Amino acid sequence: MKNFLVKTIANAAALAVAVWLLDKITLTGGSTGEKTLTLIVVALVFGLVNMLVKPIVQVLTFPLFILTLGLFTLVVNALMLLLTSWLADKLDLSFHVDGFWTAVLGGLIVSVVSWALNAFLPDKD
C-alpha cells in the first residue's frame, strides 16, 4: 500500500512539472489545495491507464516498437496522456492536454520526472 501511495505522489509531482513547463497542459481550479487534490486524482487515473491500457497498446504495436527502435514509446506515452486528459474531462476534473505534440512533450517530461523520482523514493511495501 505504501508503494502505491509513493508511486501516485511521484506521478502527481511529474504531472505538476508538466503543467508547470507546458502552457498547453492546463490545470485550472480555485485554491492550491483543490489543484493538489485534482493532481492526485489525475495521477490515479494516469496510473490506472498505464496499468490497464498501456500493456495492450504495447502488444498491439510491438512491430512499430521494433521498427523504430523503441521511439514509438513516445507516441504510446502521448496517447496515454491524451486518454488521461479525456477521462479527466469525463470525470469533471480540471486537467486538459491540448494537442498531440503537446502530449508527446508532456509524456516525455512525465516519464523523465517519474523515473527520477522513483529512483530516489523507497520501493518496498
Tens digit of each residue's pLDDT (9 = 90 or more) over 51-104: 999 999 999 999 999 999 999 999 999 999 999 999 999 999 999 999 999 999
Domain that holds residue 21: 1-124
pLDDT value at position 7?
85
Indicate the angle between helix axes 2-21 and 100-120, nearest 10 degrees: 140
What is the pTM for the complete model shown?
0.89
pLDDT value at position 117?
86
How big is the CA angle at 32 (ends 28 and 37), to the nearest 5 degrees? 80
Provide the domain count of the chain: 1
Using CB atoms within 10 Å of the CB of residue 40, give its burial: 0 to 12 exposed, 13 to 18 middle, 19+ buried.
Answer: middle
Q: How far apart are CA 67 and CA 45, in angstroms?
A: 30
C-beta separation of 109 from 17 below 8 A:
yes
